[in-house]
Amino acid sequence: MQSPVCLIDNDVDGKLFVKESALQILQKIEQPVVVVAVVGLYRTGKSYLMNRLAGKQTGFELGSTIESKTKGIWMWCVPHPTKAGTTLVLLDTEGLGDVDKGDSKHDTKIFCLAVLLSSTLVNNSQGTIDNKAIEELQYVTELTEYIKVKSSDDDEDDTEFVKFFPSFIWVVRDFTLEQKIKGKSVTEDQYLEFALKLKSGNSRPVKEFNLPRECIRNYFPSRKCFTFPFPTTSEKVSRLESLDSADLSFEFLEVTDRFCKFIFDKSEIKKLKDGYIVTGRVLCQLVKTYVDTISSGQVPFLENAVLTVSVIENESAVKEGLQVYQTGMEKLKDSFPLELRDVCAEHERLSSIATQTFMGRSFKDSEGTYTKCLEEEMNKLFDGYLHLNEEASKKRCENLLTTLSAPMTEKLKQGFYAIAGGYVLFSQDLEDIVKKYKTQANKGVKAEDTLEEFLKQKSVDSNAILQADKKLTETERKIMEEREKAVLLAQEINTKEQKQRQLEEKMEAERKSNEERMRQMKKKMDEEIKLQREEAERGMDSKLREQAALLEKGFNEKADRMTKDIEDFKRKNKEAEKKSDKLFKKVIENMNKRHDETVNLMMRQHSEQMKTIMSMQRPSSDSSALLLCLLLGGLSGGSGSSSCSCSCPC
C-alpha cells in the first residue's frame, strides 16, 4: 500500500461499518500480520508515530487545527522491516474525546476494536501520566461490557483477557518533567509503574482510583513506556510532517527511533485463541465479525469470533487441499493409461501434500469434521481418476487389438479360413495376435479384461471355422473344443488374478495414506497443544508478575485474592488442555475407524474374488495337459507345433 485507507468508517447516524475496499486488501495478504493500533485523545500526534512506523514522512493525516482529522479507523499495510514474510498492519484510530460525536459510547467501541484487532496497542497521551490521564483512559474499565471470552460463562471472565489481549505501550508526548521519583532518576518503564501504583483501602474513592490501574495491570500481558520531549518549537509543530530531521530536536528523534525499533523487534504476530497465527485474510474476517457484532449492539465473544473465522478458514482449507490434489491428478491424467501401482503412488504423494496444505490453514477442527470432508472428497476424486484410467486402458487395448486383428478380420471377410485346415491357420493367426498384444507396453489395468473379451468374441469365429474344417476328425474336433474352453478359462483366471493384485495394491495404498494422515494429524495436534500451552504460560507469567508486584508493595490482601484467580486460571487451562486432548484422540479414533471400514470392505471383496477363483471349474486332466501345451507351445500347439513336448493328444 502506497498510502493508508479507511478500514472502519461511521455512517451518517454514527454507526460503524467496514469499508469493502480495505477488506479486499486484507483478503489478499496470506502472510502473518503484526497489528499495531494507536489510541488516544484527538490532536495528540498519533498519526505522526504511525507514519514513522510505516517508514514514511506522510501518510496518515496529521491535523493542524482543533478539529479531529482521523475518523473511524484507518489502515496501512507495509512489509515488516525486520520480520521476513510478515506484514505490518498499522491502525490509526479516531481521536478519543472529540466533542463533535453524538454517541457517548462511540469512543469505547473504537477503543474495543483497537484492542480486539491489534497485537500491540499504543496509548498516546500528552504531558504526564497523572490521574487525569488515567481517568481519560476510562475505556479500559468498560471493556468487560463490550468484550467477553466465552458466551457460556455467566460470571465475569476478564481474568482470561490477559491470554488474548495485545501488549500495551504508553507513549507520553511533550513530556517536560524530570524523570525522577523521590529525587531518584527512574526509567520510562518505572515511571509508568509508579503512575499505575495502587492505593490501599476499600473506600469508594480508592476503588475508583484503582479500577483503571487494575484493568491495565491485569488485562494486558506486558507494559512499556516511552516519554517524548517536544519535537520542535511551538510554531513549527503544526507542520510536523513536512519538517526535515534537522528541524526536529535530537532527543525527540532519538526516542522516536527507540520506539520504532521496539515495535519492530518486540511486537508479536497477531494470534487468536489457542495461539492460531493470524494472516491478513484471517484479520479481514475478524474485522467483519467484530464490527458487525458491535454495530448490532451485541457483545463480541472472543471464542465465538474464533469459531466464526474457523468455519470460513476450514472450508477454504478443504478447498485448497482439494485444489492441490486435483491439479496434480489432472497432470497425471495426461499420462493415462497407467498401471494401478503408478496411479496409487501419485495418489499417496498428492494426498499427503493436500493434507499438509489443509493442516497449514485449518484450525479448531476439534471434531475432525473438515479433516473427514477432505479425506472423503479426495477419495471420491481418486475413484473418479481410477475410472478414467480404466477407460483409457480399455480404449487403448481395444484399439491395439483392433489394429493387430485387422488382417484376420479381412481374411474372415474374404473366406480365407473356409478351407480344409483353415482352423489351424486361424489358430496360428490368433496366437500371433495374442503374442504381439502381450509384448505391447503401457496397456494399463484393463489389459487382461480386454483380452478376455476379445478371445470370447473370436471364439465364435473359431468355433464356426472348427466345425466347418473337413480336415479334422470328430475326435480332433472334440479335442480342439476342449482346448478352446481351456484357453478361455485360463484367460478368465488371469483376469480375476489381475483384479486381485490390483485390489491388494489399493489396500496397500490406503494403508500408506492412512499412516501419513495419522502422522500429519498427530503433528497438527502436537502443534496446537504447544500453542495452547504457550498462550496459557504467557497469561500465567503476567499474573505471577502482577501478584509479586502486589506483594512487594504490601497489597497482601489483593495478592491473596489473586492467588485464587491464579488457581482458577490454572484449573481452566488444564481443563481446556484435557478437553483438547480428548477431542484430538476422538478424531484419531474416528479416522482409524473409517480406515478399518474401508479396508474391511476391500478384504471382503478380496475374499469373494478368491472364492470365485477357487470355485471355478478346472480343466480335466487331459484338458489340463492341453492347457499346459497351450501355455508352453502357443495356441497352435494343438496342430502339431514343434515346441510342444507334452504327452497330450495334441
Amino acid at 217: R
pLDDT at 382 over 80: yes
pLDDT in tens, 15-30: 899 999 999 999 999 9
Tell which residue, 115, 153, 147, 278, has the closest CA to residue 572.
153
Distance from C-alpha of 355 to C-alpha of 328, rounded to nearest angstrom: 13
Task: Decide if 5-300 and 390-626 have a common fold.
Answer: no
> What's the rounded Cα separation, in Å, for the pair 642 and 629?
11
For β-strands 120-126 and 73-79, DSSP reports them as unpaired
Is residue 78 very low, low, confident or very high in pLDDT (cuts 50, 70, 90)? very high
State the DSSP H helix or E strand holding residue 389, giving kind and residue range, or none if neither: helix 369-404
Residue 585 has pLDDT above 60, yes or no: yes
> Taking 50 as the threshold, does the pLDDT of residue 622 lie above it?
no
Burial group, residue 613, by CB count within 10 angstroms (0-12, 13-18, 19+): middle
pLDDT digits (tens, 9 = 90+) for 463-509: 999 999 888 888 888 888 888 888 888 888 888 888 888 888 888 88
Average pLDDT over residues 583-607: 80
- Across 214-282, the runs of DSSP E, i.e. the strands, are 223-227
What is the Cα–Cα distance from 224 to 137, expressed in whole angstroms?
A: 16
Asked whether residue 141 carries a pLDDT value surpassing 50, the answer given is yes
**Among 62-76, 91-105, 171-185, the least confident range:** 62-76
Which set of grid coordinates corresponds to residue 262? 521496539
Q: Which pLDDT band holds residue 445 (cuts at 50, 70, 90)?
A: very high
Q: Could you give phi then psi for residue 51, rounded to 5 degrees?
A: -60, -40
Query: CB under 8 Å to 261, separation ≥6 — which residues?
Result: none
pLDDT at 121 over 70: yes
Query: Which of the listed CATH numbers 3.40.50.300, 3.40.630.10, 3.40.50.720, 1.20.58.220 matches domain 5-300?
Result: 3.40.50.300
Q: How many CB atoms lie within 10 A of CB 519?
A: 12
Domain ranges of the chain: 5-300, 390-626
- Residue 244: the pLDDT is 66
pLDDT class for 626, splitting at 50, 70, 90?
very low
Using 50, 70 and 90 to split pLDDT, how confident is the model at 152?
A: low
Any idea which architecture 390-626 has in CATH? Up-down Bundle (1.20)
Q: What is the pLDDT of residue 486?
A: 83
Give the CA angle between residues 426, 429, 434 to the nearest 5°: 125
pLDDT for the residue numbered 234 = 63
Distance CA 190, CA 582 (A): 45
Lowest mean pLDDT among 91-100, 317-326, 586-595: 91-100
The residue with greater pLDDT, 24 or 145, is: 24
* Portion of the chain with pLDDT greater than 70, in percent: 88
| Predicted model pTM | 0.77
Confidence check: pLDDT of 442 > 50: yes
Whether 157 has a pLDDT exceeding 70, the answer reads no
| pLDDT at residue 68 is higher than 70 | no
Distance, in Å, from the CA atom of 394 to the CA atom of 103, rounded to the nearest integer, reads 74
- Quote the pLDDT of residue 300: 84
Residue type at 45 in one-letter notation: G
| Contact by Cβ (8 Å): 165, 219 | yes
Exposed e or buried b per residue across 107-139, where buried means at least 16 C-beta atoms within 10 angstroms of its C-beta: bbbbbbbbbbbbbbbbbbbbebbeeebbebbeb
217: exposed, middle or buried (C-beta count within 10 Å: 0-12, 13-18, 19+)?
buried
CB 145 within 8 A of CB 130: no
Pick the residue with more confidence: 35 or 618? 35
- CA 74, chain centre distance (Å): 29
What is the per-residue pLDDT for 66? 36
Q: Is the pLDDT of residue 269 over 70?
A: yes
